[in-house]
């Protein structure tokens, strides 16, 4: 993307953000949060007040978010106090917050374009599809998305330490990005036949510097406070676990939701880690495929699914797309996500048959993305290859 196109894109994002915030503040009276959703931005505004109130994060003010996210939530307050000291919260906060998200959106699109081949660079604009842009505007998930892309980009260019810095910052913005660490390790080891100690040390030191203030003020308990929140969160009806439990209750008249299945699904969320570490990740293309698989698996088996997670996985779906048919499925997945939230959720309710049908279809999309990746990457697994060699010849032919 040239300089003129980049400037035009940034200006377009800024204009759209301001228009959505100032002109369509009431969502055109639609009865649904079709443009503005103040719920999460209201939470960010409240949690970002720790600086204005001179509170010590995690010790004197609770937060469910990692350090970088919590620190960032204070930034819009600083800008609002400078631009409009007597402004109203959370409206002014939401306006500034969404405007800042446009910067991360711009950086994500530009970085994604650099990772794509010349004939596919325009596919980076798929990050502006309805659901992706909606959650960019109303949530902060575009931040870790941007940091993940920057980490992948610099890794692809051989700047491993800089890649580790962006990845560590990303993990402490949204911790799901830790799933990329074993993928980088497996690829580096496959390519260089050694462990990337400088990269690991850089990753560890960067993370340590970020969490050090929390350690000093709140100790270990303060450090792990926000990690306990997602672990203890109950399942919601957008998850595969809920659908399985619902089916069990209808067919077998018993609940499938218990400590065993919660633990099983938690393990399945991270199943790609041992699989990746025991596989040959010989090319950068395989890094992208493993990244998509790791994130898709994490989403599929999460007991609490959130629609804004589309921003976690969409960039890697785009990077792995090769045909127009692949792009079509990405578009359909994005449109479906926007239709079920906010449209279906607000207009029909999250217990309606219409909403639940869309959740089933969404889950099938995730499975549909996962299956071909598993089929392609399984052949690189060393354990499976060894097992196949040990099988009798007449059985090995069918494995």
pLDDT tens sequence across 377-388: 999 998 877 776
SS3 227: helix
Which tokens in the block code for residue 58?
């995690």
- 325's CB contacts (< 8 A; 6+ apart) are none
CA distance 80 to 76: 6
36 neighbors 27 (Cβ within 8 angstroms): yes
Closest CA to 102 of 21, 177, 163, 176: 21
Closest CA to 49 of 74, 28, 24, 27: 74
- 390's CB contacts (< 8 A; 6+ apart) are none
CA distance 252 to 140: 41
Q: Please, what is the angle between helix 130-138 and helix 91-115, to 10°?
A: 130
Peptide bond before 217: cis, by omega within 30 degrees of 0? no
pLDDT tens sequence across 56-98: 888 888 888 999 999 999 999 999 888 776 655 678 899 999 9
pTM: 0.93
290 neighbors 276 (Cβ within 8 angstroms): yes
CA distance 371 to 275: 15
Closest CA to 138 of 311, 6, 313, 3: 311
378 neighbors 384 (Cβ within 8 angstroms): yes
Residue the block writes with tokens 């994490």:
298
**What 8-state DSSP symbol labels residue 339?**
I
One digit per residue, the tens of pLDDT, for the chain of length 399 reads: 788 899 999 999 999 999 999 999 999 999 899 999 999 999 999 999 999 888 988 888 888 899 999 999 999 999 988 877 665 567 889 999 999 999 999 999 999 999 999 999 999 999 999 999 999 999 999 999 999 999 999 999 999 999 999 999 999 999 999 999 999 999 999 999 999 999 999 999 999 999 999 888 877 776 666 555 555 567 899 999 999 999 989 888 888 888 899 999 999 999 999 999 999 999 999 999 999 999 999 999 999 999 999 999 999 999 999 999 999 999 999 999 999 999 999 999 999 999 999 999 999 999 999 999 999 999 999 887 777 676 554 544 444
Map out the domains of the chain as residue ranges.
Answer: 3-396
CA distance 153 to 256: 42
CA distance 24 to 123: 28
Closest CA to 46 of 79, 7, 74, 81: 74
Closest CA to 338 of 138, 46, 122, 199: 138
CA distance 226 to 224: 6
């Amino acid at each position: 993307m040239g300089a003129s196109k980049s400037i035009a894109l940034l200006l377009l994002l800024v204009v759209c953000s301001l228009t959505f915030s100032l002109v369509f503040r009431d969502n055109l009276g639609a009865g649904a949060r079709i443009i503005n959703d103040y719920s999460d931005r209201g939470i960010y505004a409240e949690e970002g007040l720790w600086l204005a109130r001179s509170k010590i994060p995690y010790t004197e003010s609770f937060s469910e978010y990692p350090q970088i996210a919590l620190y960032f939530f204070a930034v819009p307050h600083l800008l609002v106090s400078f631009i409009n000291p007597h402004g109203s919260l959370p409206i002014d906060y939401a306006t500034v917050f969404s405007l800042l998200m446009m910067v991360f959106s711009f950086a994500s699109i530009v970085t994604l374009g650099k990772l794509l081949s010349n004939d596919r660079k325009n596919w980076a604009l798929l990050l502006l599809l309805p659901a992706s842009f909606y959650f960019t505007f109303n949530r902060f998930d575009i931040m870790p998305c941007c940091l993940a892309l920057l980490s992948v980009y610099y890794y692809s260019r051989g700047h491993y330490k800089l890649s580790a810095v962006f990845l560590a910052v990303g993990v402490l913005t949204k911790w799901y990005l830790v799933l990329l660490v074993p993928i980088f390790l497996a690829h580096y080891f496959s390519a260089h036949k050694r462990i990337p100690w400088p990269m690991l040390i850089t990753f560890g030191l960067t993370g340590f510097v970020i969490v050090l203030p929390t350690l000093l003020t709140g100790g270990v308990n303060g450090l792990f406070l926000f990690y306990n929140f997602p672990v203890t969160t109950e399942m919601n009806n957008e998850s595969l676990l809920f659908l399985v439990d619902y089916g069990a209750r209808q067919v077998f008249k018993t609940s499938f939701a218990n400590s065993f299945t919660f633990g099983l699904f938690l393990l399945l969320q991270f199943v790609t880690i041992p699989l990746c570490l025991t596989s040959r990740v010989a090319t950068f293309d395989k890094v992208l495929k493993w990244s998509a698989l790791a994130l898709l698996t994490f989403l599929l088996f999460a007991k609490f699914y959130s629609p804004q997670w589309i921003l976690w996985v969409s960039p890697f779906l785009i990077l792995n797309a090769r045909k127009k048919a692949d792009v079509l499925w990405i578009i359909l997945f994005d449109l479906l996500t926007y239709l079920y939230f906010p449209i279906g959720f607000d207009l029909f309710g999250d217990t309606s048959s219409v909403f639940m049908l869309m959740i089933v279809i969404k889950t099938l999309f995730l499975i549909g993305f996962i299956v071909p990746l598993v089929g392609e990457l399984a052949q690189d697994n060393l354990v499976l290859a060894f097992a196949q060699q040990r099988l009798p010849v007449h059985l090995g032919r069918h494995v």
